[in-house]
Amino acid sequence: MKVRTIAELVGGKAEGDLDREMTSGRALDRAGPGDLAFWESRSGAAALPDTAAGCVIVGPDAVAPGRTLIRARRPRNAFARALRALRPEPPTAPGIHAGAAVSRAAKIAEGVAVGPHAVIESGAAVGRGTVIGPGAFLGAGAQVGEDCRLHAGARVSGGCRIGDRVVLHAGACIGADGFGLVFETDHYEKFPQIGAVVIGDDVEIGANSCVDRGALDDTRIGAGTKLDNLVHIGHNCQIGKHVVMAAQVGLSGGVTVEDYAVLGGQAGIGEGARIGARAQLGGQGGLLPDKTLAKDGVYWGTPARPLRERLAAQARVNRLPKLQEQVKRLRSRLDALEKK
């Protein structure tokens, strides 16, 4: 793809050799003549570091005389867009592999690809352009929208409903039973888990992550939300739109997460808690059951506290030796005074 074409695509302004052909993208320090790269300087008018990249996407004020550049307001975003065009995901030929087990009572739209050893049960429906990977599973009555991608071994249990352009990475498990128990005399019985999981458009769910079905009502994940690997979403959680959860985050049952919230890796959220819109909880943070994080707040630690408060508390603990020293000195002075 020519530099001029990339510039148009990303809404940037090209300089230098506009007809140069780019074939891929790499990091600035590893890029070669056929590679697009990007560079975001902290101060605007800094000089571009040495690089062998054929073309670099830079900010409006970067200094790089004689180089082939594309100037864009947000180089990283422009680079991501360009690279999605330069290196599109290889298409999967549509068709149902002879080794897949697809129920005759499933509705498979045109242009769907079903890989070897995938299983699609009765009443399941798959929208056009979707790719069901090797060994993936759709239970009875499960619905998957258009242009989705279920990677190898991704699993969607019966009755769950998934929107368009959703990506489930390998081993992701949608719709296992929620963890609902009732104690009877001397043992636990199961609280029935008859809700489903409903996932909006453009959601991405990481490898080996688990989203449990609701007990009575549905577990919901809003459009555009992105979950990393090994995340656990308990039954009846209501996750908003464009929420981001890093790897190994765990949500107990009945948690509400509002739009654009961000949870750092290994954060844990107690039953019935609520996370306000755009709130952020740092990695390993823990929110106790039924507690709330205010919208737009930034929180850290267990139990989760506003970041500033948490840092102040840490600083106070770190200053404890000084405080002990002060108390000791006061005592000496008091001893001296009393002897007078």
State which of positions 198-227 bind a copy of itself (CB under 8 A).
202, 204, 206-208, 210, 212, 216-217, 224, 226
CB 219 within 8 A of CB 237: yes
Catalytic site includes residue 235: yes
Q: Which residue from 192, 201, 121, 133 is spatially nearest to 158, judged by alpha carbons?
A: 121
CB 75 within 8 A of CB 40: yes
Going by their DSSP bridges, the two strands 13-15 and 69-71 should be labelled as antiparallel
130, 219, 248, 280: residue in contact with a copy of itself (rule CB under 8 A): 248
Name the minimum Å distance from CB 18 to a copy of itself: 23
H/E stretch holding 114 reads strand 113-114
Q: Which range in 7-15, 39-47, 56-64, 113-121 contacts a copy of itself by CB under 8 A?
A: 113-121
Bridge partner list, 71: 13, 58
Our finding on whether 299 is near a copy of itself (CB under 8 A) is: no
Site residues for a copy of itself, 311-340, by CB under 8 A, read: 313, 316-318, 320-321, 323-324, 326-327, 330-331, 333-334, 337-338
CA distance 184 to 97: 48
Site residues for a copy of itself, 44-63, by CB under 8 A, read: none
CB neighbours of residue 160 within 10 Å: 25
CA distance 307 to 189: 41
Our finding on whether 93 is near a copy of itself (CB under 8 A) is: no
192, 290, 296, 308: residue in contact with a copy of itself (rule CB under 8 A): 192
Q: Which is closer to a copy of itself, CB of 18 or CB of 97?
A: 97
CA distance 162 to 130: 11
Q: Which is closer to a copy of itself, CB of 59 or CB of 206?
A: 206
Our finding on whether 105 is near a copy of itself (CB under 8 A) is: no
Our finding on whether 73 is near a copy of itself (CB under 8 A) is: no
CB 178 within 8 A of CB 234: yes
- What 3-state DSSP class applies to 209? coil
Bridge partner list, 162: 144, 199
Q: Which range in 8-16, 39-47, 50-58, 109-117 contacts a copy of itself by CB under 8 A?
A: 109-117
Q: Which is closer to a copy of itself, CB of 17 or CB of 217?
A: 217
Name the minimum Å distance from CB 149 to a copy of itself: 10
Residues classed as catalytic:
235
